[in-house]
Amino acid sequence: MILEIAQIDVKAGSEAQFETGIEKAAEIFRAAKGCHSFRVYRSVEKPQRYRLLIEWDTLEAHTKDFTGSQAWKDYRALVSDTFESPPQVEHTELTLQAF
């Protein structure tokens, strides 16, 4: 399992618009091949910063199957107008689950 962590900084004043769009986008991710979960967190210290935590079967499920697809374009159409800068994305693998 791969965990995608996407950090998204939105333009000041567009937080509600982003949250509305990302809520709609959840259904796009639910239908995406190889996508297992989709969570969105908002920073307490920096309320214009969000982190999307998305679990994928494989790295390729995200980078090859989803990114660039029509579903990805539909997701971006819902939220990209609110971006202050391009999202920062990285992929991680579980190393330790202590409890």
Cα distances from 18 to residues 3, 24, 57, 64, 91, in angstroms, run: 22, 10, 26, 25, 22
pLDDT in tens, 16-68: 999 999 999 999 999 999 999 999 999 999 999 999 999 999 999 999 999 99
- The whole-model pTM stands at 0.94
The pLDDT assigned to 5 comes to 98
The pLDDT assigned to 35 comes to 98
Secondary-structure class of domain 10-50+60-92 per CATH: alpha beta
As a whole number of Å, the CA-based R_g of the chain is 13
Domain residue ranges in the chain: 10-50+60-92
| Closest of 61, 80, 75 to residue 28, by C-alpha | 75
